[in-house]
Structure 1
Amino acid sequence: MRGAPLIRVLLALVVTGSGAAVTSGCGVGYTLVKSEAKLDRLSIPMTKGQVVEAIGRPDRVLRDDGRMLVWEYSMTARKQWLYELGYCPLSIWVGGCLFYPFTNIISEHQREYPQHIVLVNDELCAWGPPAAILQRRRACATVGVPTARPGGAGRPEPTVSGNGPIDRETIDRYRTMAVMLFEDAAGAQGSGSRVAGIVTTLMLDLDVHMVERAKLDEVLKEQVIQLQHADDANVLRVGKLVGAQAIIVGDVQQWERREQERTHAVSLSLRIIDVETGVLLFSGEGHLIDPTTDDPESSARTIVHRILARFGSQTGLLGSGRIGVNWELVEDHGARFYQVRELRSGLPAEQAGLRVGDKVVACNGRSLAGIKSERDAKRLCQVEAGQTLRLTVRRGDETMELAVTAEKRPGL
């Protein structure tokens, strides 16, 4: 009987050890789920939907200009699970998978790495580590631009208009906006929802805080209001309830493929309204007939992009010029700077010598170090068409000045 307590202790240790071993496997399982081996499922041709089905949704959208999409996924190396498995004994002693990040810290070993997926007109074009596919991405920039159309022209530009009383002085009153579902085009169910999603994404690019769809749905359900066909009074009431200062409403008038003519056509309009006063702040509309039978969504994205370019220029959220750079505001040791993530081939920033990985610490001699918000940083580094933007750039231990002359932004 004296051995009974000892047996119970030994059994407890076995059970505890087994539990820790199981939980320590979380790190191994995590690396298998996030492994870059998933990229082996990709092949050309694949649509955007097929890519999502194969490897899941991206962690970040780095670019969406109406034609090219660049998605970023954080993934582990193919044999990362072996490294994690090697730390199992240590992980068991320090508490299983709850402390798995600790094993990475003490080894100074990075767990995940970025992988980029490039789609053009919602078709897969390239994938892999950012540096490894840089040249392929540049090639993708020219893929899908028709060159055999009448007159040798490229993809046609939409006819758009946009105007309203909102301007640089008043835009700061509208930090948060909400997008209602747009009204569907006749015979094109779901077209309004797709356009509303495009508007939300592009407004986020302008650094406008957007109310999440789940929060909108919850309020609409409580108020027994339909997203579509709601009258203005109900729409404004919903805007107030979700904490928005302005709401965006609109409709899709045309969303059709013309198989016999081998074309498709899209027409849409949107309005931005002050929820307190009901005053119309901005109104835009656009139309595009494209001589292809592709999905009209790419044309809708182009139209919305052009309309919101006018809105951004009018409100000072965008300059009328572009230099072709995708950068991210980063903070390091209390100081902020723009980290260059991507350059568009053939555009002014690349031509001036800017490189991916450069740190832009000042624009026109004004430092970004103490900037307080993304919007302030964008305004500091805005440039108008034809003007020159002077960038102070750190590249490794070297600091240099680059002069970039902006070209006119499409749609303006």
Structure 2
Amino acid sequence: MLPDNISSDALCQLLQIHGTDSNVTVPPSLAISAEEQAQWIQAISKVTLSPNTLAVIGKVAETCEKNCVYVPIRRWLALSNMIKAIAFLNGRTETKLIDTFFLGTSIWGRSASNTAISESYREILKTQLYKNTPSLLEKPYNANDLFMRVNHLVHSSNNLYETKPFNGEKCLAYRITIAGESVPLYAPLKYIETDIDFNPYNELRQIEKRVVCNYHGTSNCTISIDPQVRTSGLRSSVNQANSTSPKFEEFGTLPTYILRENAPEIIDEKKRLRDSLNTEIKESMDRETANLVALRNTYKLFNESKNDLFCFTQMFNAVQDDIKKQFDNTANIIKTIKKASETIASLPSNMLKTPNLVGKPQAKPQAPQATPPSNAEK
């Protein structure tokens, strides 16, 4: 079959080597008799289009309409007969998704149409593959965030800190003096006693990307700054958008005011959080395990058709690679959930912690410019 359009060089080459149809002869042993052809046509017409196949055809038709690709009904009937013929020649009475692979190839005329429909076809195929496990079509579950929250629950103290509501969450208020200006910084409470680098909020309720904080597992906040703000200050917008410094330099360490150790309200809050996290662990483990089983079965089912006639190898390999990638990612998610489950199981039932044990020892503060926290700004 020849394409509708080719380049001038390709046309000249084609005219030199292309013969007439009458020059082509088929050996009698390979020829299909009229009786055979009639039997095949009748058998192909009896092949059933599976629900998955119909769904793919329908979505491809919608894509054609959106991209202004005119496909007459006769051509849709011909394409569906091709899908049925592929199933028939592979000894099946019902079509499979693999029989529709050619719909994702360059059969739609113009290059732009082929590109748009081919890209859409891959997404359509993916939707049908994972229709029974819709969570695989969504953003992957963040098991690392779950483990971080569990780890913080287990290893944090029961200290009640002086906080204030800021930007929709509980924050710890600090003040530092840079370039002669005293400016406030607000650190979300969720980061205290962790080892996570984070950017605090500034007084404009924006994330201050020129400052990095880390509690290093304690209640003391180590502050590092972009070197450029030492002279211009944090309120200057000169370097806010165009900072080229890839490194931050340590500015100082500030203590955090503790209202009470082993505070009953904190213990009660952590008990509620423990129950909530246990529920999340169970639900996520059940969901991800079901996804893993579904992916394994889908991979095996597709693998059975790898040697089928008319199997578009490039598309087949892309589908199998995607399934394998999803499988490996899901397996890693399950491992992280298991770690979270084992960690939370070590939490004492009464939640009591020895006072003042708030993590690793912190180096003595070395910042004459940093001042202790004062009352939170009103």
Bin of the TM-score, shorter chain as denominator length: under 0.3
Higher relative contact order (CA 8 A, sep 6+): 2
> Comparing both structures, which one devotes a greater share of its residues to helix?
2
> Comparing both structures, which one devotes a greater share of its residues to strand?
1
Of structures 1 and 2, the larger Rg is shown by 2
Q: Give the TM-score normalised by structure 2.
A: 0.22
Q: Give the TM-score normalised by structure 1.
A: 0.21
